[in-house]
Structure 1
Amino acid sequence: MKIISKLNKEFSTLGFGGGAISGEGRGYGFGDMSESKAEEILLLAYEHGINLFDFAPIYGFNLAEKRAGKALRHVREKVHFVSKSGVDWHDNGRVNMTNDPKVAIKMLNQSLKNFDSDYIDMYLVHWPDPKVDIRRPLEALYNEKEKGKIKHLGLCNTNMEDLKKAKEVCPVEVVQMEANLFNQSAFKEVDESVLKLGWGTLDKGILSGSVKTDSKFDRDDCRSWAPWWKKSDWKKKVEFVESTLAKFNLKDADLLNMAIKFSQTVADVSLCGMKKEQHLLSGIRALESSCANYKEVVDEFSTY
């Protein structure tokens, strides 16, 4: 496993996307995943050198974080947990997105409880909120960092305006952005000293070949009901992938390798959802793979 050194720590360049183990908890998740299978894949990831595990409470409505905290409790000091504030929900499961400082503190404390830990390695504000100045939740979270509850503070899915404001109240040490072949401009204006986490590496299965235009998703998979997925251009993306594979005579595995290889050129850590051992091993192999026609394929995706 490749390692990168930043923030005076070492991180695996492949990270575990926690939405993969949400299972029956639903929320942001990708289908059936039992407690035992979740524990198995978490431990396998750790045993293969992955030490960064990315979550948010909305992943399984707390269930994913609880599973990670339980499975990795014995190696807590050797792994880096990432969590986020801002995507809260009502009792009926309806999502409530807000960067209200009180909600940020509530969610931080819930994640600490979920992980059964007295600190979180990296804590991020999940999304910009046009109704709340980004400095307000960060000021509140920085106070919690001073108490030792947070090791490193940062932003997720941010923009340059919020990033500049954020630096007025605290150091921004971590930035997480969507970074993949369809979204190649991530991190271009982020300082080199910042730890860059790339999510959407395989674009929710589109770039691994696991999603086809006729794919059906089970009830525990957010792609079966989430408005943001249903209203997206995912089928158009799948068609583009299929035409690109044909044009360059590639297989699904070739594109997966290229997707991870590209992510590594813009992000320090590429986050990938892993539900099975084969997903894990494919991701690790991609880090070492050589890709014919790589530049041509990247250029092709830049035209999408």
Structure 2
Amino acid sequence: MQTRILGQQGLKVSSIGLGTMGMTMAYGPSNENEGIATIRRAYELGVNFFDTAELYGYGNGHNEQLLGKAVKDFRDKVVLATKFGFDMTAEQLGTRFNSRPENIRKVAENSLRYLQTDYIDVFYQHIPDPDVPIEEVAGVVGDLIKEGKVKYFGLSNTGSKTIRRAHAVTPVSVLQTEYSIFEREIEDDILPTLNELGIGLVPYSPLGRGFLTDAVKPSHEYPEGDMRRFDERWQGENYIYNLKATEQLKELASDKGISVAELALAWLLNQGENIVPIPGTRSVTRVEQNINAVNVNLTEADLGRIKEILPHGSAGSRYPAGMIENFTRD
């Protein structure tokens, strides 16, 4: 597996990581044993970068515990990233925020325990908290770094102004946000900021939440509890447009003897050396396929064809209107 350096603080990770959110939430029923097997197979194939969050365990640490259990035997050889920033006492998870200093420290201690480790490699603010200045957040994480409980500071789902303000207090190593052939809104402002400041990018949902794979279906065919049931990209005319685009991408991928998922991940890797996508999957087979993307060579003609098919990304918003306002706050 090839490696990349993210941020000026020297965070070295595999060129493709693994997101574990879907192993416990958002994509229908899950199976812990299957999740652990997938994580361990990814490690065997060279993946050393694993992503989780307090939110992914519905407040009980389930996702972090699953990841900690899976990597326990090789903890010192992997990079574990987790996140803070939500109020886990809210009646509806993901609707209230809490990046107060005391909560950041509480989450850090919980995550250390759940992950069965004495340090967190990357500690992200999951989403901006409108009631807590980012400078205060950056200061607390900086203190945790000095104490040896955290190694690298990350931000997620935020804009350039916040990135700059945080970076001035505690160096930001990585930004995690959605970015893919389907989702391109960060290209005009955020990507240039990251490049200017020397901050790495960790794209989540690099396969368009599964749209950029060999299996996709209309929203109503997904089970209850699957976020694709309300994703605009799976609705009506948006779905038809996006499906047509995906079919064209599949044709290009087929001509190269690869899957559309490999094509999409290879495209991301071509966008800059400071980019490491974290496709999420519960499947060992999918992990094996995704990792092959590091060996895919895209020509200028290939990149040009992708731009013709989706010049501005997919049709439909990645989140409902009320939620996207929170995720784009700066």
Q: Percent identity?
A: 23
Distance 1:137 1:161 in 2: 15
Deviates more, 1:287-296 or 1:202-211: 287-296
User: Tell me, which stretches of 5 or more residues in structure 1 are unaligned?
Assistant: 225-229
Aligned pair partner of 2:16 in 4, 9, 14: 14
Q: Does 1:37 align with 2:46?
A: no
1:144 CA drift (Å): 1.5
Aligned pair partner of 1:188 in 168, 171, 192: 192
User: Tell me, which stretches of 5 or more residues in structure 2 are unaligned?
Assistant: 314-330
Which residue does the alignment assign to 1:144? 144
Listed one character per residue, the Cα deviations across residues 174-227 of structure 1 (whole Å, up to 9, x for unaligned) are 221211012231523203632321111012111114332255333453445xxx
So what's the TM-score if we normalise by structure 1? 0.87
Match runs of 1:153-172 below 5 Å: 153-172=153-172
* SS of aligned partner of 2:56: coil
Distance 1:69 1:231 in 2: 30
Task: Give the aligned length.
Answer: 294
Match runs of 1:28-177 below 5 Å: 29-61=26-58, 62-90=61-89, 92=91, 94-95=93-94, 96-177=96-177
Distance 2:105 2:127 in 1: 15
* SS of aligned partner of 2:82: strand
**Higher percent of residues as strand:** 1
* Residues 246/71 of structure 1: CA separation in 2 closer, same or farther (3 Å cut): closer
* SS of aligned partner of 1:89: coil
Listed one character per residue, the Cα deviations across residues 22-43 of structure 1 (whole Å, up to 9, x for unaligned) are 1xxx4xx323322211111111
Whether contact under 8 Å (1:206, 1:237) holds in the other structure is: no
* Residues 222/108 of structure 1: CA separation in 2 closer, same or farther (3 Å cut): farther
Whether contact under 8 Å (2:14, 2:49) holds in the other structure is: yes
Distance 2:149 2:250 in 1: 50
Deviates more, 1:137-146 or 1:87-96: 87-96
1:248 CA drift (Å): 6.3
* SS of aligned partner of 1:155: strand
CA RMSD of aligned residues (A): 2.4
Give the AA of the match of 2:281.
M
Give the AA of the match of 1:285.
N
1:295 CA drift (Å): 2.1
Distance 1:182 1:78 in 2: 33
Whether contact under 8 Å (2:211, 2:246) holds in the other structure is: no
